């Protein structure tokens, strides 16, 4: 019997596709549907599956002061989002700046023991936060950095900097050496060849790496939970986790907060879908 190279029969494929789409899309659709329902519709007894009342109230209320945590006069949700933005951007900028330089040295320059060093870098990217969190806590407490964005950016470098080095070294290795050698014959210095030839050629890889670094920092929870105590530094994941821990949970606000905090990564990932797929397929990405 000839199947023309397919592994699945048309019927099996259709059934599996339905299962796949239901599994993948139903929970997230339910999350969205819950954000646009009235409190009465969410909390009907006995519960309905079909919503009974729609509203955008949650999207307004969540930005009100005191709606999402202790009353500081400002919306704590906005403060948490601001902290998340600053920490993610700070982590990404520093990791890309430092990591790209190191990656080029690993890929191109004659550095002793570079294979071993590169493997140590990869291993340190895969280590869990728990491996370093107690000494980091003592260090930050000694330096009066607890509950600051600086502490979070430093802590996030433990996974983002090795990640950038590892991935960018791969991109630099894929650039043909001849291009840089030609530039050097024309009188460019080694560093000049890096800046003017290699760096522009890996720009798409740099963009993909920046995206992954940003998403990983935005998602981080454990360091932020331990190192922050006020909305001077609490990030969106910590704010959400705290909110769910309370006795009387306002489910409408909570699901809306969870949805809004996930919108930046979802939108960025949809826009840069191709980068995400090739990056994930390349492996070495935690999470």
Partner 1 sequence: MDRPLSSPVQPSKRSQGSEFSELTLGLLMLAPTALVLLLVVGYPLVSSFWLSLFRVNLANPEQGQPFVGLGNYLHALAQPDFWYAIQRTIYFTVGSVGIELVLGLLFAVLLNERFRGNLGARVAMIFPWALLTVSNGVLWAWMLNPTYGVVNTLLIRLGVLDAPKAWLSDTFWTMNVIILADVWKTVPNMTLLLLAGLQPIPHELYEAAEVDGASRWQKFRQVTLPLLRPVILVAVALRTIGAFRVFDIIYVLTGNGGPANSTKVISFYNYDQAFHYLYFGYGAAISWLITACMLLLIIIYLRLLRPDVES
Q: Which of residues 45-104 bind partner 1 (CB under 8 A)?
A: 45-49, 94, 97-99, 101-102, 104
Residues of this chain, 95-154, that bind partner 1 according to CB under 8 A: 97-99, 101-102, 104-106, 109-112, 119, 121-124, 126-139, 154
Burial 198-220 (b: 16+ CB within 10 A, else e): beebbeebbebbbbbbbbbbbbb
The residue (of 59 and 73) whose beta carbon lies closer to partner 1 is 59
**Which of these segments, 8-16, 56-64, 72-80, 198-206, binds partner 1 (CB under 8 A)?**
8-16
Q: Which of 7, 11, 73, 113 binds partner 1 (CB under 8 A)?
A: 7
Task: Name the maximum alpha-carbon separation found in the chain.
Answer: 78
Instruction: Tell me which of 28, 40, 179, 232 binds partner 1, using CB under 8 A.
Output: 28
Q: Which of 36, 42, 62, 217 binds partner 1 (CB under 8 A)?
A: 42
Piece of the chain touching partner 1 by CB under 8 A; list 2-10, 55-63, 67-75, 197-205:
2-10
Shortest separation between residue 73's beta carbon and partner 1, angstroms: 25
The answer to the question of residue 236 lying near partner 1 (CB under 8 A) is yes
Other CB atoms within 10 Å distance of the CB of residue 221: 14
- Minimum distance, C-beta of residue 139 to partner 1, in the bound complex (Å): 7
Quote the CA–CA distance of 268 and 164 in Å, as a whole number. 19
C-beta of 265: minimal distance to partner 1 in Å?
A: 4
Nearer to partner 1, 50 or 73 (CB): 50
**For partner 1, which is the closer residue by CB, 73 or 275?**
275
110: left (phi over 0), alpha (psi -120 to 50) or beta: beta
- Interface region with partner 1, contact rule CB under 8 A, candidates 62-70, 72-80, 196-204, 267-275: 267-275
d(CA 187, CA 182): 9
Among 62, 79, 80, 165, indicate the residue that binds partner 1 (CB under 8 A). Answer: 165
């Amino acid at each position: 019997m000839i199947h023309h190279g397919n592994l699945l029969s048309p019927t099996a494929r259709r059934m599996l596709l339905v299962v796949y789409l239901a599994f993948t899309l139903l929970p997230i659709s339910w999350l969205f549907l819950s954000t646009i329902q009235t409190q009465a519709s969410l909390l009907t007894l006995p519960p309905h599956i079909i919503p009974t009342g729609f509203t955008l109230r949650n999207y307004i209320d969540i930005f009100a002061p005191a709606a999402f945590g202790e009353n500081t006069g400002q919306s704590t949700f906005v403060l948490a989002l601001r902290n998340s933005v600053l920490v993610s951007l700070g982590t990404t900028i520093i990791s890309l700046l430092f990591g790209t330089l190191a990656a080029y040295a690993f890929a191109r320059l004659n550095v002793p023991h570079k294979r071993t060093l590169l493997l140590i870098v990869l291993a340190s990217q895969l280590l869990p936060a728990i491996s370093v969190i107690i000494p980091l806590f003592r260090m930050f407490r000694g330096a009066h950095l607890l509950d600051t964005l600086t502490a979070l950016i430093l802590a996030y470098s433990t996974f983002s900097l090795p990640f950038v080095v590892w991935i960018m070294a791969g991109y630099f290795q894929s650039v043909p050496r001849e291009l840089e050698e030609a530039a050097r014959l024309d009188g460019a210095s080694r560093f000049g060849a890096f800046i003017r030839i290699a760096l522009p050629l890996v720009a798409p890889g740099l963009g993909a790496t920046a995206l992954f670094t940003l998403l990983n920092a935005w998602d981080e929870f454990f360091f932020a939970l331990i190192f922050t105590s006020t909305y001077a530094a609490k990030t969106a994941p910590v704010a959400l986790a705290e909110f769910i821990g309370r006795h009387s949970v306002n489910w409408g606000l909570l699901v809306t907060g969870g949805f809004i905090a996930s919108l930046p990564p979802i939108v960025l990932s949809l826009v840069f879908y191709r980068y995400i797929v090739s990056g994930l397929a390349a492996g070495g990405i935690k999470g």
